[in-house]
Amino acid sequence: MKIEINPMEKASLVTEVIRNRRTIFADAFTSEEVSQELIEQVLTDAIWAPTHKRTEPWRFVVLKGNHPEKMGEYMAEFYKDYILEKRYNSLKQYCKNATLIAIIMHRDERERIPEWEELAAVSCAVQNLWLSCTTHGLGGYWETCEAAMEYTKQFTQAGERSMGIFMLGHYDAVTTKAVSRRRPLEEKLHWDFGDELTD
């Protein structure tokens, strides 16, 4: 049965989801597993992103099994020379409870559009994924550090580019405080009326 929502309520719900999306880091995730059904749901929402000429340049690889542990160890070793021992040990455990999704851009073989448009399309897909996680009460974080980029290269094919890892998981909303703010719109907005004539 389809539930009808009036336009004002729908707009309010969309605004609420957008403005309540937050970065929830992987070390805040609980051990509760994210079901395959839910993973597929949020990724289905992701692929409804805008895509010029419908190239749909996104590809996702869900990294299961021991990948969270391997990723933590990889990051710790990758940054070993730049971090303290305490941070090294915590980094090894950082994403142990996370569901890891490699974000990959699959370039249009015919190169009908500039690469930046396909990068933008994949970024839009990640935003959809993030918003969908928000609606399902999941935490999420797009990890684009150099270590994440390097780790996911193993899952790319010819004509593809690694765009990091999206980490998602269940978290305790009571104990995990995620506060965010934005500068006022007037600092970022300019109205230009061109050569409009005035009396």
Query: In the predicted model, what is the mean pLDDT of the chain?
Result: 93
Strand-by-strand arrangement of the 58-63 sheet: 58-63, 99-106, 160-169, 139-143
Q: Which one is predicted more confidently, 181 or 50?
A: 50
114 in a domain, yes or no? yes
Asked whether residue 199 is assigned to any structural domain, the reply reads no
Tokens of 183: 């500068």
Give mean pLDDT, residues 107-124: 96
The residue ranking higher by pLDDT, 9 or 97, is 97
Mean pLDDT of 39-59: 97
Contact between 132 and 42 under an 8 Å Cβ cutoff? The reply is yes
Look at 175 and 122; give whichever has higher pLDDT.
122
Domain assignment of residue 2, yes or no: no
Let me know if residue 127 belongs to a domain.
Answer: yes
Band (pLDDT 50/70/90 cuts) for residue 55 is very high
Note whether 39 and 99 are within 8 A (CB).
Answer: yes
Does a structural domain hold residue 101?
yes
Number of domains in the chain: 1
* Structure tokens that stand for 177 in this block: 């405080």
Residue 147 domain boundaries: 24-63+97-171
Q: Is residue 177 part of a domain?
A: no
The CATH number assigned to the domain holding 56 equals: 3.40.109.10
Phi-psi region of 111 (alpha: psi -120 to 50; beta: other; left: phi over 0): left
Q: Does residue 135 lie within any of the structural domains?
A: yes
Q: Identify whether 32 is part of a domain.
A: yes
Residue range 103-118: mean pLDDT, rounded: 95
23 Cβ neighbours under 8 A, 6+ residues apart: 140, 141, 178, 180
Quote the pLDDT of residue 53. Answer: 95
Residue 19's CB: how many other CB atoms inside 10 A? 11
As a whole number of angstroms, the distance between CA 120 and CA 105 comes to 10
Residue 147 has pLDDT above 80, yes or no: yes
**Lookup result for tokens 């909303």:** 173
The pLDDT tens digits for 120-141 are 999 999 999 999 999 999 999 9
Instruction: Please state the rounded mean pLDDT for residues 130-156.
Output: 96
